[in-house]
C-alpha cells in the first residue's frame, strides 16, 4: 500500500472531534478500499492519487458532516477512475453511499463550461442531482477546492480552463449555498491563475498600506470591543483584511483605484442572542457614522439559504470604512456552512440549528420557476440569474416581499407575482408614484402593478425585462399568439436561404437542422426563424457550414449611423456613457439641441424616468460603422520603460486610433491615464480592450464613465 499524508486514524480523529459516535469501522474500511483501488495511480505532483480523496474528506470534516458524506468523499473517484463498480460499492457500504458516489461521478462527467446549449442541458442535470441529494454537490465542491489548492502541478492551459470554470460556476454555486468562506477561497485561487499580475499588484499595495498605517485590524477590533464594554454588551469581535479577489472586484464594481477604496477590512461580532445583535448595532452607530445605503437586515429578512446577519458599514478610525457583520453563534454556524449545516454533527448527534435550512426546501426555492422554462436556454437563463445576480427586495401593497435580481424593472415584479399579472400589466407605481415600466427597482421600494383586461405582452418587453421567468413567459405568449404566422414566414425564409446554396429545405433537412440546434422539431425551428430568434442563415450553417458564405456588409455612413430619428433631427453621442454601435441605445430630446444618444444602462437616464415624452426609441443601422466612435479607457500601467509605447502600438495593431491621452495619477511604480480610442463598434472595442488586458504590465482596464460630462438634462 502507498503512504498518504493523512492516515486513516488521522481522518477518524478529525471526525471524532464533532461526532464521537462515528462509525469508525466503516470509515476505516472505506479508507482501506479506496487506497487499494487507487494503488498505482499518481497525481500531476507525483503524489499517490489517494492523497486527493482523503484531503477532500478532511475538508468536509471542517463542515462537521455526517459519516455518509465523509465516506463518499473517500470513494468519490473509485467508480470513475478504478475497476470498482456501483454494485461493489453498494455491497460493501450500502445503497446510500453507493448512490452518493455515483452522483459525484456523474457530476464529474458534466462539462459545465462547454458551449451554451450543452452547458444549459448539463446545468439542468446538475440541479436534478442537487434535488436528489445535496451532499453530492458538497463533495464536488470540496473536490474542486482541493484541486484548486494543488492546481500549480497542472499544465498551464488546463490551469486556465479549470480556473475559469471555478470562477464562473463552482465559486458562485458555493456562495449561493451559503458557504461564503469556500466561495472566497475558490475565487482567490482562480484569480491567482487568471490574473496573477493584478493579484500581485493588490498584495503589493496592501503591504504598502500596512507600512503607512500599521495593521489596522487589531486597532479597529479593540475600538469595537471598547464600545461594547461601554454599552455592557458581551460579544466576540474578530476582523480581517478581505481577500485580493474581493478587493479587486470592489475596485472594478466601484470604478475606483486601490488608493481610494476604503472598505477593505471586514469585522464580525458574535453575540449571545438576537436582542444583543440589535444592541450591538445601536452601539456601533452611536459611535461611528453609518454609510448610507450600506445597512442590511438579514435577521428579519433571511436569505433563502438560511443566512441571517446584520450588515453595516461605518466610517471608522481615520475615516476608513469598515464593514461589520453582527450575528449569534447559531447564525454564524449557518453563515459558515450554509445549507451544509443541515447535516452538521456536534457531540455525536445531528445539530438542531433553528436557522439551518432543510435542503429539500432550499432546492425547491432554487428550482422555483425553472419548470416554466421551455428549453435549455431558458433554463440556463434562470440558473445564471439565480446564482450570479445580486438581489433587491421589493414589497407588494400588502407588504409581501418579492425577491428580484438587481436591475429588475416593474414588469419583472409583475411576472414574479403571477404570469397573468405580468401579461395584463399596463403600468406601475413605485412608492406611490407612476413610473415607466423600464424603471430599475431598488431595495425596499413598494411596487403596485396596474393591469387592464385585453392587454397582451408586447415584443418590446423582451428588451426591458431581465429575469428569466419574465423573458420566458413573454416569449411563450408572443410565440403562441403569432405561431402560425411565424411558421409560415420561417418556411419561406429558410426556402430562400437553402436555394441560395442550391439546396432544398425539405422536411427531413429541417428536422435534422432542428436536432442539430437542440430544438424540438421542424415546426419549432421554423417558428424561431419567423420570430427572428434564429436566422435562416444559422439553419443552413447547421447543415452545410462549409457552403455558407461570409455575409458581405457595407460600411455605414456616419450621418446615417442611427435609425429611428425624426427627419431633419441631429443626433449626438452623450459623453457620459459614450455608446457605440452594437450596444442598446435610447435618444433623449433636448430643446434646440436635437437628440442626445445614451446607452440604455446609462445612470444619467434615472433623472429622466418621469419624462417618457422625451425618450426616442433608436437603434444602430446594420452594417460596418467607420472607426470614428471615441471611447475613453481608464487604465493603470506599470511605470516602466517602454510600457506606454507598447500599449499605444497594441491599440494601433487593432486598427484603432488614439485621439487623446491624459495622465490622472502618477506614482513611482505605476501611473493611471485616460485614453480616448476611436473604434467601429462594441466588438471592435472588445478586441482592443482584450489586447490591452493581455499585456502583463496592465494592472487594470475599464471604460471610463463620467456623469459630470452628461448633457444638461433639463434643457
DSSP SS3 for 500: coil
How many Å apart are CA 280 and CA 268, to the nearest integer?
Answer: 11
Would you say 108 and 86 are in contact if contact means Cβ atoms under 8 Å apart?
no
Active-site residue, selected from the candidate residues 29, 80, 583, 693: 80
Q: Are 239 and 266 in contact (CB under 8 A)?
A: yes
Q: Is 484 noted as a catalytic residue in this protein? A: no
CA 73 – CA 142 distance, rounded (Å): 8
- Taking the C-alpha atoms of residue 317 and residue 262, their distance in angstroms, rounded to an integer, is 11
Angular region, 465: left φ>0, alpha ψ -120 to 50, beta rest = beta
For residue 589, give the C-alpha cell. 430630446
Residue 554 burial by Cβ neighbours in a 10 Å radius (0-12, 13-18, 19+): exposed
C-alpha cell at 578: 459614450
Find the radius of gyration of the CA atoms of the chain: 29
Q: CA–CA separation, 419 vs 410, rounded Å?
A: 13
Whole-angstrom Cα distance, residue 163 to residue 170?
Answer: 10
Task: Strands of 609-688 (E only): list them.
Answer: 615-616, 619-620, 629-638, 657-666, 670-679
174: its cell numbers: 458555493
Q: Name the residue with cell 425577491.
A: 403
Residue 264: what are its φ and ψ, rounded to 5°? -105, 5
- 205/244 Cα distance (integer angstroms): 10
Are 581 and 680 contacting, i.e. CB atoms less than 8 angstroms apart? yes
Q: Longest Cα pair distance anywhere in the chain, in angstroms?
A: 86
Helix (H, G, I), strand (E, B) or coil at 310: strand
Using an 8 Å Cβ cutoff, are 60 and 100 in contact?
no
Return d(Cα 185, Cα 52) in angstroms, integer.
18
Residue 176: CB atoms within 10 Å: 20
User: What is the 8-class DSSP label of residue 693?
Assistant: H
Q: Which residue has the cell 493523512?
A: 6
Residue whose C-alpha cell reads 446549449 in the numeric block: 117
State the CB neighbour count (10 A cutoff) for residue 591.
8
Cell 488546463 maps to which residue?
158
601 exposure class (CB count in 10 Å sphere: 0-12, 13-18, 19+)? middle
Q: Report the sign of the C-alpha dihedral through residues 309, 310, 314, 316, in that order.
A: negative
Provide the pairing of β-strand 670-679 with 657-666.
Answer: antiparallel
CA distances from 327 to 286, 307, 390 (A): 19, 10, 21
Count of CB atoms within 10 A of residue 157's CB? 8
Match 486527493 to its residue by C-alpha cell.
52
Per DSSP, the chain holds a count of helices (H) and strands (E) of 27, 23
80 is catalytic: yes
User: Which one of 24, 29, 62, 81 is the catalytic residue?
Assistant: 81
Cα angle at 160 between 156 and 161, to 5 degrees?
A: 115
Active site residues: 80-81
Amino acid at each position: 500500500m502507498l503512504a498518504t499524508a493523512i492516515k486513516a486514524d488521522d481522518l477518524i480523529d478529525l471526525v471524532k472531534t464533532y461526532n464521537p459516535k462515528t462509525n469508525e469501522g466503516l470509515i476505516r474500511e472505506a479508507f482501506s478500499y479506496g487506497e487499494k483501488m487507487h494503488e498505482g495511480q499518481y497525481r500531476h505532483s507525483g503524489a499517490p492519487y489517494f492523497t486527493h480523496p482523503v484531503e477532500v474528506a478532511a475538508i468536509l470534516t471542517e463542515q462537521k458532516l455526517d459519516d455518509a458524506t465523509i465516506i463518499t468523499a473517500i470513494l468519490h473517484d473509485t467508480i470513475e477512475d478504478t475497476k470498482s463498480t456501483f454494485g461493489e460499492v453498494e455491497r460493501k457500504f450500502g445503497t446510500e453511499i453507493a448512490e452518493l458516489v455515483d452522483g459525484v461521478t456523474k457530476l464529474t462527467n458534466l462539462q459545465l463550461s462547454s458551449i451554451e446549449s450543452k452547458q444549459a442541458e448539463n446545468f439542468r442535470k446538475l440541479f436534478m442531482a442537487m434535488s436528489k441529494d445535496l451532499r453530492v454537490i458538497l463533495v464536488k465542491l470540496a473536490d474542486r477546492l482541493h484541486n484548486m489548492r494543488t492546481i500549480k502541478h497542472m499544465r498551464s492551459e488546463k490551469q486556465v480552463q479549470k480556473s475559469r470554470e471555478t470562477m464562473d460556476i463552482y465559486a458562485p454555486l458555493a456562495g449561493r449555498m451559503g458557504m461564503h468562506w469556500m466561495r472566497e477561497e475558490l475565487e482567490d485561487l482562480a484569480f491567482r491563475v487568471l490574473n496573477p499580475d493584478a493579484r500581485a499588484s493588490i498584495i503589493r499595495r496592501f503591504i504598502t498600506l500596512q507600512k503607512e498605517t500599521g495593521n489596522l485590524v487589531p486597532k479597529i477590533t479593540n475600538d469595537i470591543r471598547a464600545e461594547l464594554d461601554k454599552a455592557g454588551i458581551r460579544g466576540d469581535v474578530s476582523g480581517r483584511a478581505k481577500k485580493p479577489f474581493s478587493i479587486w472586484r470592489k475596485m472594478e464594481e466601484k470604478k475606483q483605484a486601490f488608493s481610494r477604496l476604503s472598505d477593505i477590512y471586514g469585522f464580525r461580532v458574535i453575540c449571545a442572542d438576537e436582542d444583543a445583535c440589535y444592541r450591538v448595532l445601536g452601539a456601533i452607530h452611536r459611535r461611528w457614522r453609518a454609510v448610507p445605503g450600506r445597512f442590511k437586515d438579514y435577521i428579519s429578512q433571511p436569505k433563502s439559504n438560511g443566512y441571517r446577519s446584520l450588515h453595516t458599514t461605518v466610517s471608522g478610525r481615520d475615516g476608513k470604512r469598515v464593514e461589520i457583520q453582527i450575528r449569534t453563534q447559531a447564525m454564524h454556524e449557518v453563515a459558515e456552512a450554509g445549507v451544509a449545516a443541515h447535516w452538521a454533527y456536534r457531540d455525536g448527534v445531528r445539530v438542531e440549528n433553528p436557522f439551518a435550512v432543510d435542503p429539500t426546501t432550499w432546492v425547491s426555492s432554487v428550482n422555483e420557476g425553472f419548470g416554466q422554462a421551455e428549453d435549455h436556454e431558458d433554463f440556463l437563463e434562470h440558473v445564471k440569474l439565480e446564482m450570479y445576480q445580486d438581489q433587491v427586495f421589493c414589497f407588494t401593497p400588502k407588504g409581501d416581499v418579492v425577491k428580484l435580481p438587481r436591475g429588475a424593472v416593474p414588469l419583472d415584479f409583475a411576472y414574479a407575482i403571477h404570469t397573468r399579472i405580468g401579461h395584463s400589466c399596463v403600468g406601475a407605481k413605485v412608492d406611490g408614484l407612476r413610473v415607466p415600466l423600464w424603471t430599475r427597482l431598488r431595495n425596499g421600494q413598494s411596487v403596485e402593478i396596474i393591469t387592464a383586461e385585453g392587454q397582451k405582452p408586447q415584443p418590446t418587453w423582451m428588451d426591458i425585462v431581465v429575469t428569466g421567468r419574465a423573458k420566458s413567459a413573454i416569449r411563450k405568449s408572443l410565440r403562441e399568439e403569432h405561431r402560425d404566422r411565424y411558421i409560415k414566414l420561417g418556411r419561406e425564409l429558410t426556402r430562400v436561404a437553402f436555394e441560395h446554396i442550391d439546396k432544398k429545405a425539405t422536411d427531413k433537412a429541417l428536422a435534422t437542422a432542428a436536432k442539430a440546434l437542440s430544438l424540438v422539431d421542424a415546426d419549432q425551428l421554423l417558428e424561431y426563424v419567423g420570430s427572428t430568434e434564429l436566422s435562416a442563415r444559422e439553419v443552413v450553417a447547421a447543415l452545410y457550414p462549409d457552403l455558407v458564405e461570409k455575409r458581405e456588409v457595407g460600411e455605414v455612413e456616419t450621418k446615417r449611423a442611427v435609425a429611428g430619428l425624426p427627419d431633419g433631427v441631429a443626433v449626438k453621442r452623450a459623453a457620459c456613457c459614450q455608446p457605440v454601435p452594437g450596444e442598446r441605445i435610447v435618444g433623449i430630446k433636448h430643446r434646440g439641441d436635437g437628440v442626445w444618444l445614451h446607452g440604455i444602462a446609462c445612470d444619467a437616464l434615472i433623472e429622466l424616468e418621469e419624462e417618457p415624452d422625451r425618450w426616442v426609441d433608436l437603434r444602430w443601422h446594420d452594417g460596418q460603422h467607420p472607426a470614428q466612435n471615441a471611447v475613453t479607457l481608464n487604465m493603470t500601467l506599470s511605470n516602466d520603460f517602454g510600457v506606454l509605447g507598447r500599449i499605444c502600438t497594441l491599440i494601433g495593431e487593432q486598427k484603432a486610433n488614439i485621439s487623446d491621452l491624459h495622465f490622472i495619477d502618477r506614482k513611482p511604480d505605476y501611473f493611471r491615464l485616460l485614453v480616448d480610442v476611436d473604434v467601429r463598434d462594441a466588438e471592435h472595442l472588445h478586441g482592443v480592450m482584450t489586447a490591452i488586458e493581455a499585456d502583463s504590465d496592465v494592472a487594470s482596464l475599464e471604460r471610463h464613465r463620467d456623469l459630470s460630462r452628461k448633457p444638461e438634462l433639463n434643457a
